[in-house]
């Protein structure tokens, strides 16, 4: 499965306060339209989040997160063919999401906020994305510190019974890192392959792109495309993006160069 091409995860925020301005809280029709658009554009899966993770966001409790999330899952599992990932760090939410038809859990705290998520993944056989995150941007040595953190998250998942082949790691671009640190992680992404798991990278519309280009989130398409292409060159297996149609094209072109991928009707 891994290595032949890059998989595209489309972002659907069912929050009122998404950093990128694409939150669709409460608008089921708009959510379904976007999911269908993503599917038609070539997304391999979608990632649904019901709590914002932007800097300065207001945390929500389990009840509110489930109130936002469950009606969306109930609708989407009937409306689309591609798998649904749920972006949550709460074990109860993860369990309910899997029961409702989600196929994967994306934990932005890498089991540090709720290690029982790993038990839910182990019991259901769901793949588990573990992202590096921390409260500060202080590091003794950036990459070794991130490696140690991700290795600990991975071991926690393994100890809970999650098969190694179901674990995906995310270096956490934009989380607990300065802009320069994010750029260094992206530049050295290939070193993360030593951790022995597929890599997910999420640079889409992030503030680092905004700082480099001095552009707001809705004008960061080209910057995102550059980081996606470079992430693929560095070994990314999945990219998490807002602009699915454009990034599918970026991925396929990058895969043709980096991985030798060819379209089905390739004639030379």
Residue 185, C-beta contacts closer than 8 angstroms, at least 6 positions apart: 142, 143, 146, 171, 172, 173, 177
Active site residue 206: yes
The domain 7-258 belongs to what CATH superfamily? Dihydropteroate synthase-like (3.20.20.20)
Instruction: Tell me the whole-structure pTM to 2 decimals.
Output: 0.94
SS3 98: helix
Task: Output the pLDDT for position 16.
Answer: 76
Separation CA 22–CA 205 (nearest Å) = 11
pLDDT digits (tens, 9 = 90+) for 79-92: 999 999 999 999 99
What is the percentage of the chain residues whose pLDDT exceeds 70?
A: 93
Q: In Å, what is the CA distance from 10 to each residue of 34, 106, 138?
A: 9, 13, 31
| Active-site pick, 206, 220, 249, 262 | 206
Separation CA 239–CA 177 (nearest Å) = 19
SS3 201: strand
| Active-site pick, 240, 249, 252, 259 | 240
Active site residue 154: no
Q: Tokens 């600990």: give the residue.
A: 152
pLDDT-wise least confident of 10-19, 74-83, 201-210: 10-19
On the question of pLDDT at 21 being above 80, the answer is no
Domain chopping of the chain, boundaries = 7-258
pLDDT digits (tens, 9 = 90+) for 217-238: 999 999 999 999 999 999 999 9
């Amino acid at each position: 499965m891994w290595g032949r091409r890059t998989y595209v995860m489309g972002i659907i925020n069912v929050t009122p306060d998404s950093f990128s301005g694409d939150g669709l809280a409460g608008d089921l029709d708009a959510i379904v339209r976007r999911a269908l658009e993503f599917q038609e554009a070539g997304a391999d899966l979608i990632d649904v989040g019901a709590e914002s993770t932007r800097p300065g966001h207001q945390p929500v409790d389990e009840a509110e997160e489930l109130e936002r999330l469950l009606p969306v899952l109930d609708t989407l599992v009937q409306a689309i063919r591609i798998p649904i990932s749920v972006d949550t760090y709460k074990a109860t939410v993860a369990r309910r999401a899997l029961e409702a038809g989600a196929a994967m859990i994306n934990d932005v705290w890498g089991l540090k906020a709720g290690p029982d998520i790993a038990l839910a993944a182990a019991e259901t056989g769901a793949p588990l994305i573990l992202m590096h995150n921390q409260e500060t941007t202080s590091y003794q040595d950036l990459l070794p510190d991130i490696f140690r953190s991700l290795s600990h998250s991975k071991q926690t998942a393994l100890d809970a019974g999650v098969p190694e082949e179901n674990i995906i790691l995310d270096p956490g671009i934009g989380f607990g890192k300065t802009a320069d640190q994010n750029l260094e992680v992206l530049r050295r992404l290939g070193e993360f392959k030593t951790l022995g798991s597929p890599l997910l990278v999420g640079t889409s519309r992030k503030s680092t792109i905004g700082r480099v280009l001095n552009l707001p989130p809705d004008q960061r398409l080209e910057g995102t495309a550059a980081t996606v292409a470079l992430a693929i060159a560095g070994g990314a297996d999945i990219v998490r993006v807002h602009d699915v149609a454009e990034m599918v094209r970026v991925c396929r072109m990058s895969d043709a160069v980096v991985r030798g991928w060819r379209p089905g009707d390739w004639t030379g």
